[in-house]
Chain A
Amino acid sequence: MRIKLKIWRQKSRNASGRFVSYPVENVNPDMSMLECLDVLNEQLIQQGEDPVAFEHDCREGICGSCGFMVNGVAHGPLPATTVCQLTMRHFNDGNELVLEPWRARAFPLIKDLVVDRRSFDRIIAAGGYISVSTGSAPDGNAIPVPKEAADRAMDAAACIGCGACVAACPNASAALFTGAKMTHLGILPQGKPERDVRAIRMVAQMNEEGFGGCTNIGECTGVCPKEIPLEVIAAMNRDYFRASWRERDNVVTTIRPFTEWSTGSKLQVDPPSGR
């Protein structure tokens, strides 16, 4: 089959970008979207042009490296599928596909379809863990975890951190990502001791990074390749409000606004080191 790819080309963060159309012949329906880009890049290199930069690594839908918009939808039209596993059989001969990078203030562009998602790492660094140093763990079976809790934690923990949720959200909110980690750790008994402080820190960091607020639109869960449910955002909000109330004497919360845009001032939460 033949496909026309209309791709966002931008040399670097500060350069201006534009769409360029490329015809790709001999597309095999069993190819993945990324393999189709491989074929295009081989042609471009042969023609002495700059190949299209796109992020990819495992190509089996688990590392979270890949991702771009295909015709306006994050990861393309197939539900629960990253672009590395999106096969071309889902398109028709002669289709034009528009490929664009994730667009969000908190994901600055690096080149073509590649963006910088370190803001996600900083949200995790702010509190997305259980503080247990190596060697200090009790026996694995000393902490019984109800099967249902383990299953629900696993549902949330399946997040691959690709950023599709942010790209799909009209506010570029990271609520699904942040809520998923808070839900995973918050449901498990091991994660309970730090549940409040985790909520406060992660939400504060999310706001600091310049992600927008959540207005419950649900686009995020619609494009999520791991189908993280919207309820993780409800869980995040509940944890955050509960923590704000319990920790009201702690300066961290009460004097600091929920979102940056509600006051127009930047948050001053302890900045993560190493940035």
Chain B
Amino acid sequence: MKLVNPANKRRHTLIVVGSGLAGASAAATLGELGYHVSCFCFQDSPRRAHSIAAQGGINAAKNYQNDGDSVYRLFYDTVKGGDFRAREANVYRLAQISVNIIDQCVAQGVPFAREYGGTLANRSFGGAQVSRTFYARGQTGQQLLLGAYQALERQVQAGTVTMYPRTEMLDLIVIDGRARGIVTRNLVTGEVDTHLGDAVILGTGGYGNVFYLSTNAKGSNVTAIWRAHKRGALFANPCYTQIHPTCIPVSGDYQSKLTLMSESLRNDGRIWVPMKKGDKRTPDQIPETDRDYYLERRYPSFGNLVPRDVASRNAKYVCDEGRGVGETGLGVYLDFGDAIRRLGRKAIEERYGNLFDMYQRITDEDPYTVPMRIYPAIHYTMGGLWVDYHLMSTIPGLFVIGEANFSDHGANRLGASALMQGLSDGYFIVPYTVGDYLATNKLDKVAETHSEIRNAVACVQQTVQKLLGINGKRTVDSFHRELGKIVWEYCGMSRNAQGLETAIEEIRSLREEYWQNVKVPGSGDDFNQSLEKAGRVADFFELAELMCVDALERNESCGGHFREEYQTADGEAQRDDEEFSYVAAWGYRGYGNREDLSKEPLEFQYVHPSQRSYK
């Protein structure tokens, strides 16, 4: 890999969009190396990025527990957990880097949990039989993000990074086939601006909010990567979405988001439903003999720690059978009774205290005495912009990191791996690969008056004016909610061909209505939160269709993509490696047109694809 001469680094301006784990760590590291970095986020501060909400932990193959962990095992678990739909080479690199991430974060002062001897503590997570997850109470994401944020602010102080908060990227500037800048809108003044550079790095997160109800922050959106997609970057595996098994069930129509309870709870909590359908007794009235600990029964070796897709699907099955709990019947119990009897209330408080408090605040029930009720919810999206081994998209000079790319998790992400991937991409991969790109390509200076720039700015202004001018009858949220219901119904936990076709029809007609009948109040010249949402929802509409098209094309079940037509006799996902062992990368062909499919074949040299078994 080529290097950029230290004296030349400061001559390059790099644009980083997003300030979560991936974006902040990349911006900070590139700043440390001496590049001039402009970093953008739509929130009021880079510290608000949604990485902050990750609870459980971060994996690393340290083998501090002497339980047989290794780089190879983490690699193996991740490839298998992703249901053999990830690129081996990327995953191996991720596993190698995992150990450096922990070192870096410890040095930054991330207050990881410690043993009494002062060494780092670990916990177990789904999909693994070793204890390799590092954590800071139930706030691991917060602490890792604050570490990256502090590193970023240090570079702001040093003058290498310029931070642009409350600034949203609305288009990508591509000149002579290369990414050379972005068009932004200042969310306070409404000003549309351009920022030019030698490379653009997107770390803008996932698109789970296409479902309206998800565990994502309200502001999380697909706009940055979608608009890059419309400028030519291929979008890979959009149908791979992850449903998290342990969220607080929906309670009413007004609901604006779903709250996740960390998967780490499955370490000590036992999941069950009543044996009998429609058993309305309170949980303490249901004796052991009338309880079905269905995960322990079906998967004796992994039990409650099966991967997320398996746990979610099984919760759906038991609820579909009419054995769900709570008022809506869409919930299962997560019971800490045994753990409290075994370890004492204090130990449980220490491990999960803040999660229990949060549950109680929301539901008004005490999880120390009454089992929690949980239900799956959309949590993470494995799909994203296609990138090569250098994390560069199909547009040269456009790099995509963290959840925004598709690279490492295949069809299903294991717990505690998102933080690992975000930081790996940001601290340790993209700072090298961007350097290689700059060193191997001659980039001419771009004139500020270039026609592509004027064109991109006009495009952005047009969309803003169009949204404001419709002045219809329905609010943005009402459309978003309806879109979310369609996608959840037909492209959620399980999918079938007929449903997906219906979904495509419904999405198209709702999208037509959106452009005729949405009502966006206010103007484009000031702080207008409805306008922000309107642009994002417009992009979700287009993405939603592509997700369904991708899900329809993939005639197999794998990981988070479960097609009802393709399952084993006992209801497990059935892959078709002959036909579908590839990455589906879609190319935009204009509004409303079917996208072009390219296939990147997946080759497995080390981990032989097998039927994933957690029994």
Contacts and interface: CB of A to CB of B under 8 A. Distances in A.
Contacts of B50: 57-58, 63
B29 A134 contact: yes
B434 interface: no
Contacts of A46: 475, 519
A274 B152 CA distance: 12
Contact of A137 (B46, B64, B107): B107
Given A57-B218, A150-B113, A30 B48 contact: no
B477 A38 contact: yes
Contacts of A28: 251-252, 254
A120 B522 contact: no
Interface in A100-148: 110-111, 114, 116-118, 120-121, 124-126, 128-141, 143-147
A247 B105 CA distance: 29
A191 B109 contact: yes
A130 B109 contact: yes
A129 to B, nearest CB: 4
A166 B277 CA distance: 53
B529 A51 contact: yes
Contacts of B257: 59-60
Interface string B156-183: 1111011101000000000000000000
B254 A125 contact: no
Contacts of A138: 103, 107
Interface stretch (A154-162, A213-221, A228-236): A154-162
A32 B48 CA distance: 20
A45 B530 contact: yes
A34 B362 CA distance: 13
Interface in B432-470: none
A134 B431 contact: yes
A108 B70 CA distance: 52
A148 to B, nearest CB: 9
| Chain A interface extent, by class | 35 or more
B256 A59 contact: yes
Contact of B111 (A80, A131, A188, A273): A188
A157 B105 CA distance: 14
Interface stretch (B80-88, B138-146, B308-316, B403-411): B138-146
B521 A34 contact: no
Interface stretch (A81-89, A237-245, A259-267): A81-89
Contacts of B32: 133-134
A30 B521 contact: no
B114 interface: yes
Given A89-B364, A190-B108, A65 B44 contact: yes
Interface residues of B, number: 85
B557 interface: no
A31 interface: yes
B47 A64 contact: yes
Interface string A49-61: 1110101111111
Contacts of B104: 132, 134-135, 137
Contacts of B163: 121, 274
Interface stretch (B115-123, B192-200, B293-301): B115-123
A192 B399 CA distance: 37
B496 interface: no
13 contacts: A42-B478, A46-B475, A50-B521, A51-B530, A60-B260, A120-B45, A131-B154, A132-B104, A135-B100, A140-B120, A150-B113, A154-B137, A161-B45
Given A30-B364, A130-B107, A140-B112, 13 more contacts: A61-B358, A62-B142, A65-B44, A85-B361, A116-B44, A125-B154, A129-B108, A130-B150, A150-B113, A161-B45, A185-B109, A190-B109, A191-B109
Interface of B: 25, 28-29, 32, 43-50, 52-53, 62, 64, 100, 102-109, 111-120, 134, 136-137, 139, 142-143, 146, 149-151, 153-154, 156-159, 161-163, 165, 188, 217-219, 251-252, 254-257, 259-260, 357-358, 361-362, 364, 427-428, 431, 475, 477-478, 519, 521-522, 526-527, 529-530
Interface of A: 11-12, 28, 30-32, 34-35, 38-39, 42, 44-46, 48-51, 53, 55-65, 78, 80-81, 85, 87, 89, 110-111, 114, 116-118, 120-121, 124-126, 128-141, 143-147, 150-151, 153-154, 157-158, 160-161, 184-185, 188, 190-191, 272-274
Closest 9 CB pairs of A and B: A144-B118, A129-B150, A137-B107, A125-B153, A137-B103, A273-B159, A154-B111, A153-B111, A150-B114
